[in-house]
Amino acid sequence: MERQQFHAHRNDHHTHLRDGIAHQREENTLFSDVTKHIQAATNLLVIGPGVAKHHFQNYLCEHYPALARKITACKTVDYLTDGEIAALARDIFLVPKGQYK
């Protein structure tokens, strides 16, 4: 199990003054960057507090369907500690405790 965290490269999170096209372009750039890092994954758990995780899942379905099929779960969660993320992943992937890094 490997954990990677990605953040958008912008500082105006949750402002409503941006146009939708610019937001979608920035989101697709982030998703493209993330996709480069997960190509070798065998199973994916996509989590987060907002809707971007669903947008990412849709992006993968449209642009990388083989990778999208590796998504085991897409869950809404608040901010979790690394230990809580590991426990959630272990439960979702049915990995016995002690058999992960």
Average pLDDT value for residue range 45-71: 93
pLDDT tens profile 31-55: 999 999 999 999 999 998 888 899 9
Q: Locate tokens 């096209």: which residue?
A: 21
Cβ–Cβ < 8 Å for 36, 8: no
What is the CATH number assigned to the segment(s) 20-93? 3.30.420.60
Residue 56 confidence (pLDDT): 94
Quote the strand ranges of the chain, DSSP E: 44-48, 71-76
pTM over 0.75: yes
List the chain domain ranges: 20-93
Q: How confident is the model at residue 2 (pLDDT cuts 50, 70, 90)?
A: confident
Whole-number Å distance between alpha carbons of 5 and 21: 25
User: Using CA of residue 61, residue 52, residue 49, residue 9, what is the dihedral sign?
Assistant: positive
